[in-house]
Structure 1
Amino acid sequence: MNSRLRRYVTLRRRSDTPVWLSIGWRVLFVLALVSIAIGVHWIDSDGLSDAADGHVSFLDVVYFTMISITTTGYGDIVPVSDRARLFDALIVTPIRVFVVLLFIGTAYSFIFKRTWDRWRMALIQKSLSGHIIIAGFGTSGSEAVEELLARGIPASDIVVLDPSPGAVARAEGMGCNVLEGDATRDRTLEAVRLQSARALIISAGRDDTSILIALTARHVAPDVQISLVVRAEDNELPARAAGANVVINPVSFAGLLLAGSAEGPHIADYLADLASSDGKVQLAERLVDAAECGQPLSAIGSGLGVRVYRGDTAYGPSDPEVQALLPGDVIVEIVDGNGRPRTVGKRRD
C-alpha cells in the first residue's frame, strides 16, 4: 500500500485564475453551503427550540446555523426533534468541518505558504555565490548536473532553472537549488543571483530559446561565463554573438568521435575518457601559478599542458608564446583522473 502511495502522481497545470477570483469562488462555495443549511433549518424550524421566547424566527434560524457551523454553540437555540438532530449531525457537521478546512487551506495557500516560500528563497539567495546555474533540465541539462555532482561540486552550489514543474521536482530530488520560471526574463536570472554565479550552462531544448537566454544573461551579468548547447550548426555563430563563451554542438561532437574512431579504435575512448569525471585522465583548466610564470608550458608539474589561453588567443604546445608563461594565462592540462575532482579556474574572457 505504501509503495502504491509513493508511486502516485497526478497531472498538474499552473492555474491562470487570478488570486482574487480563486478566493472569490471559495467564498461563494462556503456561502452556498451555509445557505443550504439555513434553508433546511428554516423548513424544519419546528424541530428547533428557542429558550428565550419559545418562537423560532428566520433570524433565529440564521443565527443558529452560523453558531452551529462555527462550533460556538451557546445553547439558547437547540434541535429538539429527531429529524433536526439527525440533519445537524449528518449534514451540518460535515459542512462545519469542510468550511474550516477550506478557510485554513486558503490561508495556507495565499498567506502562510507564500510568506514561507519567500523567506526560504531569501535565505537561499544570501548563500548563493560562486554557484553554477543550469538553465534547462532536459537530457543535456540533467546529465550536466550529474557530471558536476560526480566531479565533487556540492548540490548546494548548483541552481536549476526550468519552466516545467516535473523537471524542477527531479532537480530538487537531487538536492539542487531550483526555481520554476522563465530564464529569458531578467527578474528570473536576478532571482538566482546570476551576477555572482561562477558559470551559466544553457540547454533549453530549442536553439532560439537558448540564444535568447544567453542574450538576457549577458545583459544581467556581463562577466559571467556562459556555456550553451545548440542543435543546429548554423546557430553556433548567433550563439557566440549572443554572448556565449562556449558553444557546444552535440551532433558535431559526435561526428568528431566517429571520425576519430575511424583512425583508430582507441581514440574515441580516450576522448570520452577526457570528458568524463570517472576517467583515468581528465582535462582541467586553471590560472597559471605565480611560481610557473616565466617557465615553459612543458615544465608545469601538475599535468600535461596542452593549451594556453592568453586573452582571446589560444596557443598550443609548439607555439613560441608558451615558452614563457605570463601572469593571467589560463592553462588547459591533462591530469591524472583516479576519481579526483578537477580544479576549474575562473577564465577571464
Structure 2
Amino acid sequence: MIHLPTAARGPLRALALRLVAAIGLVLFIVFVVYLDRDGYRDGDDTSGLTLLDCFYYTVVSLSTTGYGDITPITPQARLVNVLVVTPARVLFLIILVGTTLEVLTEQYRTNARLARWRRHLKDHVIVCGYGTKGRSAVGALRESGFDVKRIVVVESDRPSVRRAAADGLVAIEGSATQSTVLTDAHIKDAKAVIVATDTDEASVLVTLTARQLTAGKVRIIAAAREAENAPLLKQSGAHQVIVSSATAGRLLGLSTSAPPLIDVVEDLLTPGAGMALALRSAARDEVGRSPREVTEPVIALVRLGRIISLAMPESAKIETGDLLVYIRDDRPSPVTASA
C-alpha cells in the first residue's frame, strides 16, 4: 500500500461534526413541529401530536420518505412546512450526500495523485526502513538539497509509515525483502537504494532482492550493525556498507584518547553547527593545480570512484573529472538566523 504525504485532517472529527449537524437539525425541526403540534393531524386522531409523533414526522419528512399519515391542517402549520421544514429537508440531504461525495472525491483525488506520482518518479532514492538510521539518512538527503518528492520510504511497521507520510514523504507499506514491494517503488528507475533495516539479516535479504531486480545497475548502500557482516552484504550486492557499531565504537574510543576530535566529528555531522563535508566537481580553471591551492579546504579527491587522500602522490594535481571533498561553512547566515 502506497501512502502519499497528506496534511493531517482528522476524518473522524469531520464525520463527527456532520453527525452533530444532522442531529441538531432533526432536534430543531422536532422543536418547531412540537410548538405547533395542534396544527397537525394524525389520521383520524384530532387530539394533536405527542413528542414521539413529532420525532416520527420530522424523521420521515427530512428523509423524504413522507408516509402522509401525519399532515399539517392549519395555514400556520403549512407555512412552517414551506419556510422551515422544506429547507431543512434540503439541508439534511446535503449533509448526507455531501459526506458520500467527499469520500468519492477524496478517492478520485488520491488515485489521480498516485498515477501522477508513478508517471514522474525517476532518479529517486529508496530508503528501506524508517527507524533511526532511515530517518537520519533522509535528513542528510534533505540537508544536501535533495528533492523530498524523489525520496520513497519502504517500511513494514505501520506507525513508521504514518510518521514518514507525516514528514512529507511517499511511504510504501510492506517488506523491502519482497520484490513486488520494491517494484511498486520503481526500483529499476531509482538512483540509489539505502538499506537501513533493524537487523543485518534483513539487510542481506533486502540487498539480494534489490540486486536481483536491478542487475547491479542501481547503487545500493547498506548499513550493518556488525563488521563481520559487511563482507556478506558486499557479496550480496551492496556497493557500500556502513558499519554502525564499529563507527560508534571508534568514536567512543576517540572520546577518551582525543576528546577534541569528537567535537570536530560532531560538528561535521551536525547540520548548521559550523562545518560540514561537501562534494563538488573540479572547475575548469582548477585542473592542473594543487588541491591545496583551492579556496575551500580540500581534504580528499574522488577520481574514477577511488578516494585519493592528500597524502598520496596522485593528489599532487587536480585532473579533469575529479570530485573535490572539502569542508564548507555550514553556519546559518545572519539573515536566516534572525528570521
TM-score normalised according to structure 1 size: 0.61
Which structure exhibits the higher relative contact order, with contacts defined as CA atoms closer than 8 Å and separated by 6 or more residues?
2
Matched AA of 1:205: D
Would you say how many aligned residue pairs link Structure 1 and Structure 2? Answer: 256
Matched-pair contact (CA < 8 Å) for 1:233–1:249: yes
Matched-pair contact (CA < 8 Å) for 2:196–2:203: yes
Q: Secondary structure at the match of 1:183?
A: coil
Q: Distance in 2 between matches of 1:247 and 1:226?
A: 9
Give the aligned partner of residue 271 of structure 1: 265
1:92-171 alignment runs, 5 A limit: 117-171=110-164
Which ranges in structure 1 are unaligned for 5 or more consecutive residues?
9-67, 79-100, 341-349
**CA displacement at 1:201 relative to structure 2:** 1.6
Q: Are 1:318 and 2:308 an aligned pair? A: no
Give the aligned partner of residue 77 of structure 2: none
Matched-pair contact (CA < 8 Å) for 1:277–1:339: no
1:164-243 alignment runs, 5 A limit: 164-221=157-214, 222-243=216-237
Structure 1 residues 187-226: Cα deviation after superposition (integer angstroms, max 9, x where no partner): 3223223333333221111111112212222333333332
1:5-44 alignment runs, 5 A limit: none
Q: Distance in 2 between matches of 1:146 and 1:312?
A: 24
Q: Secondary structure at the match of 1:266?
A: helix
Matched AA of 1:189: L
Matched-pair contact (CA < 8 Å) for 2:226–2:246: no
Stretch deviating more after TM superposition (216-225 or 311-320): 216-225
Matched AA of 1:212: L
Matched AA of 1:293: V
Q: Distance in 2 between matches of 1:164 and 1:112?
A: 28
Matched-pair contact (CA < 8 Å) for 1:296–1:322: yes
**CA displacement at 1:317 relative to structure 2:** 0.2
When residues 157 and 249 of structure 1 are mapped into structure 2, their CA distance, relative to the original with a 3 A threshold, is same
Q: Distance in 1 between matches of 2:155 and 2:252?
A: 32
Q: Are 1:282 and 2:293 an aligned pair? A: no
Identical aligned residues as a percent: 27
1:46-61 alignment runs, 5 A limit: none
Which ranges in structure 2 are unaligned for 5 or more consecutive residues?
1-8, 13-59, 70-95, 334-339
Q: Distance in 2 between matches of 1:206 and 1:249?
A: 12
Matched AA of 1:161: V
When residues 195 and 298 of structure 1 are mapped into structure 2, their CA distance, relative to the original with a 3 A threshold, is farther
**CA displacement at 1:126 relative to structure 2:** 2.5
**CA displacement at 1:228 relative to structure 2:** 1.2
Q: Distance in 2 between matches of 1:293 and 1:223?
A: 30
Matched-pair contact (CA < 8 Å) for 2:131–2:160: yes
Matched-pair contact (CA < 8 Å) for 1:161–1:178: yes
When residues 284 and 204 of structure 1 are mapped into structure 2, their CA distance, relative to the original with a 3 A threshold, is same
Q: Distance in 1 between matches of 2:210 and 2:293?
A: 38
Matched AA of 2:226: A
Matched AA of 1:171: A
**Residue 261 of structure 1, aligned match among 255, 259, 275:** 255
Matched-pair contact (CA < 8 Å) for 2:222–2:241: yes
Matched AA of 1:170: R
Query: What is the aligned-residue RMSD (CA, Å)?
Result: 3.7
Give the aligned partner of residue 294 of structure 1: 288
